[in-house]
Each structure stands twice: as structure tokens, then as C-alpha cells.
């Protein structure tokens, strides 16, 4: 996090406190989080949730509907089954995948916005909102920094970026997009002239390789397996955009379907890196992107 | 597992360790500065090294184990570690400021604070 402004120290401290607070609500890695509680109660009673968790779940279910389930916040059983990074290169068999997939269906989530609670009706169902919680948290941190008078900042959440204003020398923030297959190379550089958010999903962040196949942490809810379409996809946009998508859904549906979907989201720009390393982007980025060809 | 909180916290720790203070924000890349990498353990800088094309292998004692950092051809990677998940090894070579390698179990961060060809403020 790079922050400029009067009393930047206080602003950073408050933003980090907010990050910690929200992560305690939303993380799958924390057994005491609200998400973990909901998952533990699957098949049982509804769990009361905070306003923030409700907002994230509402957003998640909206994305699921918009993408016909290509994004599915109930992907938890598949994430658990594969355990990428935790299970020593484990590849489940088809019957195990089928069993886990039978528990993946966002339409079964019972979110009660009046009583502010949520219930997963089947034992074994579980939520994983990691794909969007990060952006949600970064947005809140950005808000806090702004409220505290910060006029220039960059927050790097590892894949997702938020910026405030321009750099202290007046030039726009520039974001480098790592080459998915050559970690010491940059695939593209984006000048944040018109935008202040970049969300990136890639198959290079958490993965293992076995028998020449790359198994990574972004799953297709239709197959229960890691996606095979793109190595990286980024969405570039400005805060306050009404209609948004999670970037990992672009890896699920691939470039062509993504472009058709993005046609409905005029304020979203996108960059794709395919499995052969070819880089392409939406026309709105012209003039503000340099691509390493 | 590296969570968002870990990543951001590490970033802040590195900034704080380097600058001594968070305000004014630390500017990672001085114009025309020497390309270099800093290695920190639990937020404290334990080593700096130039990225000047030389080859060097550095053993770093982390909080829970060790990491071996290799510098070669103006780039750097973690080449060996006794951490359980080995995610740090999979991060491969990095060459661009402000890219960083993180071995969370051992609290080891290897960050490029200046590189000859860097003209970006973050790498994702």
C-alpha cells in the first residue's frame, strides 16, 4: 500500500483495521468467520449475519444469476475436494467430483434479507466468496482512505488493485500485469488514466502440475475442474460502476463468451491472456495499454 | 495460505521497516537508483543485494525455517525452502520492481525495490 496525504499514517491504520475486521467475517480460512459458521450449519438452521456479509452474499448471488452459474459462491465443496496447495497435488476422480458438484448450486442458498440470516439447505454445502470478498474489502479500504483526506494511494491486494487519484508527481498510476508463464516478464502495462480498479484472476497464483497438466485454484462450476481457457483475465473499471462481474468468471467462460457478456457491461474493460500466451484487450483500453508482444 | 490480509500486512511491514515510518509514504523507486532487492524476515530487513547481473545464493533464516534465495541475471527467486506448502518456490523468478516473493510460513519477503526496466507501480 502506497499512500500520500496529510495524516496518512492514521488513514492506513484505519484501513488495515477495517480489512482485518472484514476478513474475520468473510474468510474461509478463519473458522470463526461468518462464512465458516454458515458452512458449519449447512443442512441445519439459518445463521444470523452482519450487514457486510449480507452485502457480499447478495452481490455473489447476483453475479451467479448474471453469469448463469459460471460464477457460483457455493463452489466450496469443489474447492475443499481439490485442496489446491493443501493436499499434496491431489487430483480427485470423477465420482468424487460428481459427488461434490451435487452440492454446488447457488439457487439453493436461502438468504433472508428481512431477518438478515442465511441457510444452506444441504449438509456438505459450503460458500466460498473469496473471489469477490477481496474486491469488497479493497473498496472499503479505499473509502476509508478517501474519508481521511487521502488524495493519492495505491492498494495492492494481490491480484486486485485500487487507486486513488494520481501519483504525487501528477502522473497516472501504472499497473504491470505479470506474464502468466514467465514470472519475471510483464505481459501488459496499464496507465490508470480513466480507471481506478483492476481485478485479475490467473491460473498462476495457486497451482500444481502433474502429468503435464496444470491444476489451479479457479474452478468451472459446471465441470468441478480447474478452468482451461485462459491463463489470466483482468477487468479494469472505475469505482461506482453499477454493473460489475467477478474477474474469475472470465476464466470459466473463456474469451469469446466473455466478450459477448462484456458487451452488456459498457463500463468494463478487459485484458485476456490465452493458454498460448496471446494477449488481447477491449478497445476502450487503446492508448492506455502497452502490450509485450 | 497467503490471505489478502497477509499480503497487505506484509506490504505495510516492508514499507514501515524500510522507511521507519509510514508517513510520508515510502517511495520505492528513486529515479536512476541502483537495481536492488531487499530480503526481510518478519518485517525486518536482513539483507539487501544489488541486481547487477551477478550470481549469488543467499540462505535466509526465517521465523520457522529457512529459505534459499538465488540472484542471477538481474532477477531473483526462492530456490529452496523448508516450508510446508512450497508456494514460494512456485512464484518463480521476478525481475520488476515492485514485485515480491513471499514465504509466509517463514515470514520471509524478497522484494525488488528498484529495477532497471521498471516503470510500473504495482505488478499483479
pLDDT for position B1: 45
Domains detected in chain B:
4-114 (2.60.320.10)
Total domains in the fold of chain A: 2
Last residue of one domain, picked from the residues A128, A157, A186: A128
A258-281: average pLDDT:
95
pLDDT for position B23: 31
Residues B20 and B42: their CA atoms lie apart, in Å, by 15
Q: Structural domain of residue A279, as residue ranges?
A: 172-291
> Is A37 among the domain residues?
yes
| Same domain as A283, residue A176 | yes
Last residue of one domain, picked from the residues A69, A95, A128: A128
For residue A180, the domain's CATH number is 3.10.520.10
B25-40: average pLDDT:
62
> Is A194 among the domain residues?
yes
> Is A192 among the domain residues?
yes
- What are φ and ψ of residue B88, in 5° steps? -65, -35
> Is A8 among the domain residues?
no
The residues near A40 (Cβ < 8 Å, ≥ 6 apart) are: none
What percent of chain B clears pLDDT 90, i.e. is strictly above it? 42
Among A137, A176, A177, the residue with its CB nearest the CB of B4 is: A137
Among B2, B8, B99, the residue with its CB nearest the CB of A1 is: B8
The chain-wide mean pLDDT, for chain B, equals 78
Among A157, A160, A174, the residue with its CB nearest the CB of B121 is: A174
B87-98: average pLDDT:
88
> Is A185 among the domain residues?
yes
Q: Is the pLDDT of residue A54 over 70?
A: yes
* pLDDT-based confidence at residue A156 (cuts at 50, 70, 90): confident
| Same domain as A198, residue A118 | no
Across the interface, whether the CB atoms of B1 and A29 are under 8 A apart is answered yes
B14, B89, B84: which is closest to B45 by C-alpha? B14
> Is A136 among the domain residues?
no
pLDDT for position B5: 55
Sign of torsion, CA B83 B87 B89 B94? negative
Of A196 and A157, which is predicted with more confidence? A196
User: Which of A79, A176, A199, A248 to mutate against chain B (most B CBs within 10 Å)?
Assistant: A176
Residues A15 and A3: their CA atoms lie apart, in Å, by 11
| Same domain as A209, residue A267 | yes
Q: Is the pLDDT of residue A162 over 80?
A: yes
A226-240: average pLDDT:
94
> Is A4 among the domain residues?
no
Amino acid at each position: 500500500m502506497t499512500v500520500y496525504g496529510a495524516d496518512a499514517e492514521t488513514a492506513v491504520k484505519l484501513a488495515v483495521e477495517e480489512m482485518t475486521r472484514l476478513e474475520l467475517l468473510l474468510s474461509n480460512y478463519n473458522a470463526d468467520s461468518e462464512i465458516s459458521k454458515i458452512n458449519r450449519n449447512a443442512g441445519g438452521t439459518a445463521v444470523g449475519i452482519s450487514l457486510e456479509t449480507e452485502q457480499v452474499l447478495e452481490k455473489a448471488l447476483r453475479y451467479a444469476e448474471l453469469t448463469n452459474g459460471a460464477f457460483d459462491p457455493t463452489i466450496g465443496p469443489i474447492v475443499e475436494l481439490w485442496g489446491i496447495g493443501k493436499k499434496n497435488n491431489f487430483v480427485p476422480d470423477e465420482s468424487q467430483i460428481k459427488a461434490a458438484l451435487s452440492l454446488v448450486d447457488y439457487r439453493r442458498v436461502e438468504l433472508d434479507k428481512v431477518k438478515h440470516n442465511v441457510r444452506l439447505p444441504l449438509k456438505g454445502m459450503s460458500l466460498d466468496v473469496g473471489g469477490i470478498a477481496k474486491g469488497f474489502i479493497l473498496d472499503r479500504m479505499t473509502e476509508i482512505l478517501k474519508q481521511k483526506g487521502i488524495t493519492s494511494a495505491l492498494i495492492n491486494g494481490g491480484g486486485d488493485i485500487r487507486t486513488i487519484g494520481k501519483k504525487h508527481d501528477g502522473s497516472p498510476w501504472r499497473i504491470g500485469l505479470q506474464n502468466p508463464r514467465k514470472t519475471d516478464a510483464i505481459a501488459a502495462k496499464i496507465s490508470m488514466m480513466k480507471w481506478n480498479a483492476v481485478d485479475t484472476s490467473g491460473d498462476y497464483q495457486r497451482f500444481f502440475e502433474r502429468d503435464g497438466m496444470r491444476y489451479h485454484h479457479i474452478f468451472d462450476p459446471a465441470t468441478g475442474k480447474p478452468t482451461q481457457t485462459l491463463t489470466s483475465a483482468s477487468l479494469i473499471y472505475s469505482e461506482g460502476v453499477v454493473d460489475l462481474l467477478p474477474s474469475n468468471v472470465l476464466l470459466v467462460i473463456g474469451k469469446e463468451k466473455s466478450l459477448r457478456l462484456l458487451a452488456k457491461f459498457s463500463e468494463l474493460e478487459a485484458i485476456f491472456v490465452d493458454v498460448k500466451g496471446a494477449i488481447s484487450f477491449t478497445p476502450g483500453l487503446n492508448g492506455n495499454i502497452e502490450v509485450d508482444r | 495460505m497467503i490471505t489478502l490480509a497477509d499480503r497487505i500486512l506484509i506490504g505495510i511491514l516492508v514499507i514501515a521497516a524500510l522507511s521507519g515510518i509510514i508517513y510520508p509514504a515510502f517511495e520505492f523507486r528513486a529515479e536512476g537508483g541502483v537495481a536492488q532487492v531487499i530480503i526481510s524476515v518478519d518485517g525486518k530487513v536482513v539483507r539487501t543485494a544489488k541486481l547487477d547481473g551477478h550470481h549469488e545464493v543467499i540462505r535466509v533464516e526465517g521465523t520457522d525455517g529457512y529459505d534459499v534465495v538465488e540472484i542471477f541475471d538481474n532477477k531473483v527467486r526462492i530456490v529452496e525452502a523448508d516450508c510446508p506448502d512450497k508456494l514460494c518456490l512456485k512464484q518463480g523468478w521476478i525481475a520488476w520492481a515492485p514485485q515480491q516473493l513471499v514465504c509466509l510460513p517463514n515470514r520471509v519477503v524478497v522484494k525488488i525495490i528498484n529495477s532497471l526496466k521498471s516503470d510500473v507501480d504495482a505488478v499483479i
